[in-house]
Structure 1
Amino acid sequence: MAHGFKSSNQNFIFGPWTVKAVKTHIMKSKDIERLADEMQMASLPEMLFGDNVLRIQHKDSFGIEFNAKDALQCVNNLQDSVKVACAQEWQESRSDCEHSKEVVKRYDWTFTTDYKGTLLGDELKLKVIPTSDRIDMEKLKTREQIVFFEEVLLFEDELHDHGVSMLNVKIHIPPAVYTDPNEICQYLPLNLLQCEKLEFPENMSESQITETPQTTGPEQT
């Protein structure tokens, strides 16, 4: 983290909903090693923010949150599916070396994850279902007041100088940092398209879900 970083714990309340954003320091090396053993992973990201969380929760306890530990649970720790360009050359140059023939535990060293969040709640819970709905891009272009913005970093790793792997989550992104999807899509190959949406628990009325928004602003603790 940058010099002078201070931990923060923010709560933003709107109607029956509370957004909680917790940002704190990187986990210590010994704690990362212990967690790697618990998760049976050969390695974890160099910069792991195990206590960081972004949570959106209804007053009836259901909601969704994003945290690093659950995200890493979705990493394939049995397969190293990505090979760098120099891997084959390195292997051939050491074909006669005894140590090069030793079996090394395989794992996805890029920490690629399909984590979509952790659902909260016991009796009441959001439901994930496939959908053909798409985000209304025109609505996103509307210049409205940003009442709350936060970005929470979950983990980052420089991948031994072969690039950077980073997982973070944002809410209410300011227009200044919008990326035009019509421009960037021509440079990015489509590997997977999977659309889902969250349905509120059954038997809940619209008034229970929304209620009258309060005017309480962000709180810093």
Structure 2
Amino acid sequence: MMIHGFKSSNQDFNFGPWKVTAIKTHIMKSADVEKLAEEMNMPCLPEMMFGDNVLKIQHSSGFGIEFTAKDALRRVNKNQGVVKVACAEEWQESRSESEHSKEVVKPYDWTYTTDYKGTLLGNDLMFNAVPSTERINTEKLKAREQIMFFEEVLLFEDELHDHGVSSLSVKIRVMPSGFFLLLRFFLRVDGVLIRMNDTRLYHESDKTFMLREYTSRESKISNLSHVPPPLYTEPNEISQYLPITETIYEKLEFPTLSQTETGDSPDQVSQPAP
């Protein structure tokens, strides 16, 4: 089955102690979507809901991080914030003839804006997320290096009744020196605003942590008159014109594995396989 030119696929890629899993499958059936919307206490979910798609990075000792549409939608504001209501009203006025305009001011965020940064995995062992002053070395990422694995997974998309787009996708590339991941929420409400929430994750193979950077950008369309409109539909191009509204810099520290690996601590000696 083809979706956006993609075939359904289920891929695993192993490198060092890591395994990347990318599952891409069909859009959820409407009955399943309705049931999920009810569970999540939301009036409706995105038109194209890839509820079974996932991108997961897991360490051989169990801890990791994954990206799913369901967890992302759990971070959507169930009670619309003031900014969003103002935006909805502005949009409603500009689209008063549209059938959707009557539904817009329901008590939920119809733009599906999410500040999701991934779901941490692990039972006893998990990443420890701490604020960091360290930044992702973008110059290093620009260096020409063999790409051993690349995948992009769409999590959801909605065309806001033909008045824009709201989408969430995640892509990863693995190089010999480490891996880089970008989770991007992109929102364009025609005539009203453009918003982008990006989460970047970078791991260098010799480090015992990952860097996670979250950046939220937003601009009213009325403030973008100097930008050629064709760029409005190109997230990579438009991002430089959108002022940053929030940034969160974190280090995802690995749980302490060093003793198990080196066998230094007598109470943590690895058990022989049965």
TM, length-normalised to structure 1: 0.78
Structure 2 counterpart SS, 1:11 = strand
- Matched-pair contact (CA < 8 Å) for 2:66–2:118: yes
Match of 2:171 in 1: 170
Would you say 1:125 and 2:179 are equivalent positions? no
Task: Percent identity, please.
Answer: 63
- Matched-pair contact (CA < 8 Å) for 2:89–2:105: no
TM, length-normalised to structure 2: 0.64
Match of 2:160 in 1: 159
AA of the residue aligned to 1:147? M
Residue 198 (structure 1) aligned to one of 252, 259, 262:
252
> Is the deviation greater in 77-86 or in 60-69?
77-86
CA distance 1:132–1:27, change in 2 (3 Å): same
**5+ residue gaps in structure 1?**
94-99, 175-182, 210-221
> What pairs with 1:51-200 in structure 2 (closer than 5 Å)?
51-79=52-80, 81=84, 82-83=87-88, 85-88=90-93, 105-172=106-173, 186-200=240-254
Match of 1:23 in 2: 24
> Is the deviation greater in 75-84 or in 24-33?
75-84
1:131 is displaced (CA, Å) by 1.1
- Matched residues in 1 for 2:47 and 2:238: separation? 29
Structure 1 counterpart SS, 2:246 = coil
RMSD: 2.9
- Matched residues in 1 for 2:72 and 2:118: separation? 8
- Matched-pair contact (CA < 8 Å) for 1:84–1:162: no
- Matched residues in 2 for 1:5 and 1:171: separation? 16
- Matched residues in 1 for 2:16 and 2:42: separation? 41
Q: Which has the bigger relative contact order, CA under 8 A and spacing at least 6?
A: 1
Match of 1:178 in 2: none
- Matched residues in 2 for 1:169 and 1:44: separation? 19
1:102-138 alpha-carbon deviations (Å, 9 max, x no partner): 9964110010001000111111100111111111111
1:176-221 alpha-carbon deviations (Å, 9 max, x no partner): xxxxxxx86541111111111200002x229949xxxxxxxxxxxx
- Matched residues in 2 for 1:150 and 1:3: separation? 14
- Matched residues in 1 for 2:253 and 2:105: separation? 44
1:151 is displaced (CA, Å) by 0.3
- Matched-pair contact (CA < 8 Å) for 1:42–1:77: no
